[in-house]
Amino acid sequence: MILGRDYGRDMEIPRFGPDATVDQVSEALRSAGCAIVERLMPEAAVDALMADMAPWIDATPNGADSFSGLLTKRTGALVARSRASWDFVAHPLVLGACESVLWPKKTSFQLHLTQLISIGPDSPEQPLHRDQWCFDSFPFPDDIDVEISTIWAMHDFTEGNGATRIIPGSHLESNETLGHSHRVVQAVMPRGSVVLYTGRTIHGGGANRSTAVRTGLNIDYVLGWLRQEENQYLSVPPEIARDLPVHLQRLCGYAMGSYALGYVDDVRSPADYLAGAVSRSSLGADDVAFNRDALGT
Ligand SMILES: O=C(O)CCC(=O)C(=O)O
């Protein structure tokens, strides 16, 4: 199918340095559907995360189909398995962009998935897609963002080793007019950088024509009332979540998704449940304020 409009034909991915502001990144997500922030995390943080996750990556099988990648490993449960992942998961620039770009009337947003994507040598390109198609391709209104995705470069991302492919501007196309005639740009970036894109932006993993594995840390965020792609209550069960900092508990989904969504037993909030506290008189309003404070947004 040929695109009816010229969005993205010559567009690049907007690119910023580590001093980028929430406003700059949010504006890039709105206008181009994507943004790169170079060297946002120090290499030592990347080293620490990869050291935590090495045994888990070793034990991970390759994907079962061409979309997951027959030569690609997907290793999840980062919050439970790696203390070093926490600074990536709750990076203030990313959380600020999520707060700004995701549907303004939301009560909260939460983690959608945490996953190291290790694309092995000789892997072909992943099919291009929109991440929000995971919701049975539900036709969300075109002007509402329900999901923000990030991929952090655990190695230098190059054209040859499978840097993420993105069509800048494709978030503005409706499903009906969508095609792949637009210019696909690769998120070439140095280690410790992050590429952000919305749930509506067309993208996919690149082909790895190098001799080394390409590892990206994929962390996605979604509105608090949508189902999480990675089941955080099983990946980060209460016995682990109980000892996490409160902002991470909430990002994992131990929070109210709206006034009445997500309570436990006697109308206790998940926070009260984890703390072993009795129920409070009101759920939603307190939780909205708490979410914003805890996330620093
Ligand atoms: O690994 C990448 O660069 C992109 C992966 C991706 O888009 C996905 O698995 O949905």
Mapping DSSP onto H, E and C, the string for the chain reads CCCCCCCCCCCCCCEECCCCCHHHHHHHHHHHCEEEECCCCCHHHHHHHHHHHHHHHHCCCECCCCCCCCCEEEEECHHHHCHHHHHHHCCHHHHHHHHHHCCCCCCCEEEEEEEEEEECCCCCCCCCECHHHHCCCCCCCCCCCCEEEEEEECCCECCCCCCCEECCCHHHCCHHHCCCCCCCEECCECCCCEEEEECCCCEECCCCCCCCCEEEEEEEEEECCCCCCCCHHHHCCHHHHCCCCHHHHHHHCCCCCCCCCCCECCCECHHHHHHCCCCCCCCHHHHHHHHHHHHCC
Give the nearest ligand 1 atom to 69 CA: 9
- Ligand 1 pocket test, candidate residues 134, 195, 203, 215, most atoms within 8 A of CB: 203
For ligand 1, the distance from its centroid to the CA atom of residue 27, given in whole angstroms, is 23
For ligand 1, the distance from its centroid to the CA atom of residue 164, given in whole angstroms, is 7
- Ligand 1 pocket test, candidate residues 34, 116, 151, most atoms within 8 A of CB: 151
List the residue whose alpha carbon is closest to atom 1 of ligand 1. Answer: 205
pLDDT of residue 182: 72
For ligand 1, the distance from its centroid to the CA atom of residue 90, given in whole angstroms, is 20
Q: Which residues line ligand 1 (CB under 6 A)?
A: 117, 126, 151, 164, 203-205, 216
What tens digit of pLDDT does each residue of 250-267 get?
Answer: 999 999 999 899 999 999
What tens digit of pLDDT does each residue of 200-226 get?
Answer: 999 999 999 999 999 999 999 999 999
List the residue whose alpha carbon is closest to atom 4 of ligand 1. Answer: 205
Give the nearest ligand 1 atom to 162 CA: 3
- The rounded Cα 254 to chain-centroid distance in angstroms is 18
- The rounded Cα 202 to chain-centroid distance in angstroms is 14
What tens digit of pLDDT does each residue of 17-71 get?
Answer: 999 999 999 999 999 999 999 999 999 999 999 999 999 999 999 999 999 999 9
d(C-alpha 206, C-alpha 71), whole Å = 12
What tens digit of pLDDT does each residue of 59-99 get?
Answer: 999 999 999 999 999 999 999 999 999 999 999 999 999 99
Give the nearest ligand 1 atom to 74 CA: 9
Spell out the CATH class of 15-231. mainly beta
Mapping DSSP onto H, E and C, the string for 186-207 reads ECCECCCCEEEEECCCCEECCC
- Residue ranges of domains in the chain: 15-231, 233-295
Q: Which of 94, 141, 140 is CA-nearest to residue 114?
A: 94
d(C-alpha 12, C-alpha 196), whole Å = 13
d(C-alpha 76, C-alpha 254), whole Å = 18
Give the nearest ligand 1 atom to 214 CA: 1
